């Protein structure tokens, strides 16, 4: 019995009288998902071994053996030849077992002064850190693609909406730059989250630290961490950094989803503001005329699963007493799926932005409906001395008349307009045009093409600074 057991789970078997059932083994194992962290696990082990040798806790020869073994394991994993065993529970035990097969006692010494608890916390942090760096790069690409689109359309006019009702004319460049701002804040958030991810748990061991004379700062610097986690109990147990990452990822998806909603509406034939390149759309198996914006629709849908992961992780943590509990093993799948979803979505969107073609005539026609320049007429009257509330009232009457006549404000004759206010003279027509309306909003943050160009220059300088 004992022999059989120790074959199954060498890491902790000696104390047990009977083997775990196959169901329990499957239930408690994580190897089939946490093997994704293999690279981080090996990286962490090498840094740990380097420190153990430098501190004289293991010999230089042992360290060299560990390095040799790990190099071979990395190659095996890379080549898809590494044999992952459910019996060995997780990525850590699988790699350690193989190491011992390859290099003998040196492999068995690797775990000195370390526990899987601080090991796994280190692996996840390394994994999330890489994910953040990838996401920052993708956000950069997306912001840059949207800025290109904004530049091409700095003068393209479309209706801006509030309550989904035509509000005021805006430029499409300005509209795209709104998303550039959102994704810019997302990048700031990710970069900020990275600071708290980038601290080293290793050295906390199981929960209380270790009796060996370790050098945690040395390991931190080898692994590129900014600092160590300063409390061992906290180091092994909290996953707030993963929650924070998922929250930042949720906000990215929220922004992607808002944009997706607009793309779907704009591509609807009833609106027809844009077209999306065929490679991002699919047809229908029954309706031959269809070209569906599947990518934005799916992105909108996938946003929900990332929100779900955020809620899952928050709930995972809330009832856990200090320090490590096995509950924490459940942090990985939501985290990995969040990374996959955000990375794939951003990659596609950065590419798709270049595949959006704008239809300025349709945008313009829509802006000409719905009295988009009514506010301009009110502002005009204010500039002629009328208090704003009175001006608002005057224009409301004029709009109502236009509604009856089925014409736009700009199509009224001077006499017709003057019937609503004697302050109106023939200079009014300049402010009633779409071009006049957008050009007049010429201040920081406004929609005027001149401001859009300034904003583009500002964003480009920012992007260049980040690259």
120 binds ligand ARG (CB under 6 A): yes
45 binds ligand ARG (CB under 6 A): no
Contact mark string toward ligand ARG, 189..218, x via CB under 6 A: ------------------------------
Residue of 239, 257, 250, 254 whose CA lies nearest to 128: 239
Distances (CA, A) of 178 to 174, 182, 258: 6, 7, 11
219 binds ligand ARG (CB under 6 A): no
Contact mark string toward ligand ARG, 22..41, x via CB under 6 A: --------x---x-------
Query: From the list 36, 109, 111, 116, which residue makes contact with ligand ARG (rule: CB under 6 A)?
Result: 116
Candidates 113-121, 147-155, 289-297, 304-312; binding stretch for ligand ARG (CB under 6 A): 113-121
Q: Active-site residue among 21, 163, 285, 443?
A: 163
As a whole number of Å, the end-to-end CA separation of the chain is 60
Q: Which is nearer to ligand ARG, 34 or 379 (CB)?
A: 34
Taking residue 111's Cβ as centre, other Cβ atoms within 10 Å add up to: 19
329 binds ligand ARG (CB under 6 A): yes
Q: Which is nearer to ligand ARG, 30 or 345 (CB)?
A: 30
Candidates 196-204, 207-215, 309-317, 323-331; binding stretch for ligand ARG (CB under 6 A): 323-331
Q: Which is nearer to ligand ARG, 153 or 329 (CB)?
A: 329
Report d(CA 414, CA 125) in Å as an integer: 69
338 binds ligand ARG (CB under 6 A): no
Q: Pick out residues in 71-100 that bind ligand ARG (CB under 6 A).
A: 90
- 311-325 exposure pattern, b = at least 16 Cβ within 10 A, e = fewer: ebbeebbeeeeebbe
Q: Is the separation of the CB atoms in 33 and 51 below 8 Å?
A: no
Distances (CA, A) of 112 to 51, 205, 211, 305: 11, 9, 10, 40
Q: Which is nearer to ligand ARG, 123 or 376 (CB)?
A: 123
Sign of the C-alpha dihedral, residues 387, 395, 155, 151? positive
Chain Cα centroid distance, residue 164 = 27
Query: From the list 9, 43, 94, 117, which residue makes contact with ligand ARG (rule: CB under 6 A)?
Result: 117
Phi, psi of 448 (to 5 degrees): -55, 140
Q: Is the separation of the CB atoms in 159 and 372 below 8 Å?
A: yes
What angle, rounded to 10 degrees, do the helices at 172-197 and 240-267 form?
A: 170
Candidates 175-183, 326-334, 349-357, 391-399; binding stretch for ligand ARG (CB under 6 A): 326-334
Q: Is the separation of the CB atoms in 373 and 437 below 8 Å?
A: yes
Smallest gap from residue 10 Cβ to ligand ARG (A): 14
Q: How many residues bind ligand ARG (CB under 6 A)?
A: 9
Candidates 207-215, 242-250, 322-330, 429-437; binding stretch for ligand ARG (CB under 6 A): 322-330
Q: Is the separation of the CB atoms in 424 and 394 below 8 Å?
A: no
3-class DSSP state for residue 160?
strand
Candidates 116-124, 353-361, 377-385, 397-405; binding stretch for ligand ARG (CB under 6 A): 116-124
Q: Pick out residues in 286-305 that bind ligand ARG (CB under 6 A).
A: none
163 annotated active-site: yes
Query: From the list 270, 326, 389, 406, which residue makes contact with ligand ARG (rule: CB under 6 A)?
Result: 326
Task: Enumerate residues 6+ apart whose C-beta is below 8 A from 140.
Answer: 187, 463, 466, 467
Candidates 45-53, 115-123, 225-233, 261-269; binding stretch for ligand ARG (CB under 6 A): 115-123
What angle, rounded to 10 degrees, do the helices at 91-103 and 38-54 form?
A: 50
168 binds ligand ARG (CB under 6 A): no
Residue of 281, 297, 275, 278 whose CA lies nearest to 345: 297
Smallest gap from residue 30 Cβ to ligand ARG (A): 4
Q: Which is nearer to ligand ARG, 65 or 90 (CB)?
A: 90
Q: Is the separation of the CB atoms in 394 and 387 below 8 Å?
A: no
Smallest gap from residue 111 Cβ to ligand ARG (A): 12
Q: Which is nearer to ligand ARG, 94 or 171 (CB)?
A: 94
Q: Active-site residue among 59, 230, 268, 284?
A: 284
Q: Which is nearer to ligand ARG, 161 or 336 (CB)?
A: 336
Residue of 129, 117, 131, 128 whose CA lies nearest to 202: 117
328 binds ligand ARG (CB under 6 A): yes
Binding site for ligand ARG (CB under 6 A): 30, 34, 90, 116-117, 120, 326, 328-329
Active site residues: 163, 284
């Amino acid at each position: 019995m004992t022999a059989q057991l120790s074959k199954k789970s060498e890491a902790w078997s000696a104390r047990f009288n009977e083997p775990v059932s196959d169901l329990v083994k499957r239930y408690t194992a994580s190897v089939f998902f946490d093997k994704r962290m293999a690279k981080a696990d090996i990286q962490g082990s090498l840094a740990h071994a380097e420190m153990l040798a430098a501190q004289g806790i293991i010999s230089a020869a042992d360290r060299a053996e560990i390095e040799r073994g790990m190099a071979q394991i990395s190659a095996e994993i890379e080549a898809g030849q590494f044999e992952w065993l459910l019996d060995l529970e997780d990525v850590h035990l699988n790699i350690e077992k193989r190491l011992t097969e390859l290099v003998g006692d040196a492999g068995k010494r690797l775990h000195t002064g370390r526990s899987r608890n601080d090991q796994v916390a280190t692996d996840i942090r390394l994994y999330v850190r890489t994910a953040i760096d990838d996401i920052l790069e993708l956000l950069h690409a997306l912001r840059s693609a949207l800025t290109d689109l904004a530049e091409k359309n700095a003068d393209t006019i479309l209706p801006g909406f509030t309550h989904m009702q035509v509000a005021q004319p805006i430029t499409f460049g300005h509209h795209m730059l709104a998303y550039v701002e959102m994704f810019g804040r997302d990048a700031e958030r990710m970069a900020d989250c990275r600071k708290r991810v980038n601290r080293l748990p290793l050295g906390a061991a199981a929960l209380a630290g270790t009796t060996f004379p370790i050098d945690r700062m040395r390991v931190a610097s080898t692994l590129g961490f900014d600092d160590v986690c300063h409390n061992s109990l906290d180091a092994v147990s909290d996953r707030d950094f993963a929650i924070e990452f998922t929250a930042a990822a949720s906000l990215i998806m929220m922004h992607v989803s808002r944009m997706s909603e607009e793309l779907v509406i704009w591509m609807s034939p009833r609106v027809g503001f844009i077209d999306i390149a065929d490679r991002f759309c699919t047809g229908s198996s029954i309706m031959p005329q269809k070209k569906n914006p599947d990518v934005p629709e799916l992105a909108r849908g996938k946003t929900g699963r990332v929100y779900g992961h955020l809620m899952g992780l928050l709930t995972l943590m809330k009832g856990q007493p200090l320090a490590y509990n096995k509950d924490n093993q459940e942090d990985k799948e939501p985290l990995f799926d969040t990374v996959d979803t955000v990375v794939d979505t951003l990659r596609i969107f950065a590419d798709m932005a270049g595949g959006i073609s704008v239809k300025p005539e349709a945008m313009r026609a829509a802006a000409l409906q719905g009295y988009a320049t009514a506010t301009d007429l009110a502002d005009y009257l204010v500039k002629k001395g009328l208090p704003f509330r009175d001006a608002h009232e005057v224009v409301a009457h004029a709009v109502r008349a236009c509604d009856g006549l089925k014409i736009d404000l700009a199509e009224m004759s001077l006499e017709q307009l003057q019937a609503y206010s004697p302050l109106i003279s023939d200079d009014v027509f300049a402010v009633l045009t779409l071009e006049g309306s957008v050009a007049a909003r010429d201040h920081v943050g406004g929609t005027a093409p001149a401001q859009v160009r300034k904003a583009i220059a500002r964003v480009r300088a920012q992007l260049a600074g980040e690259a």
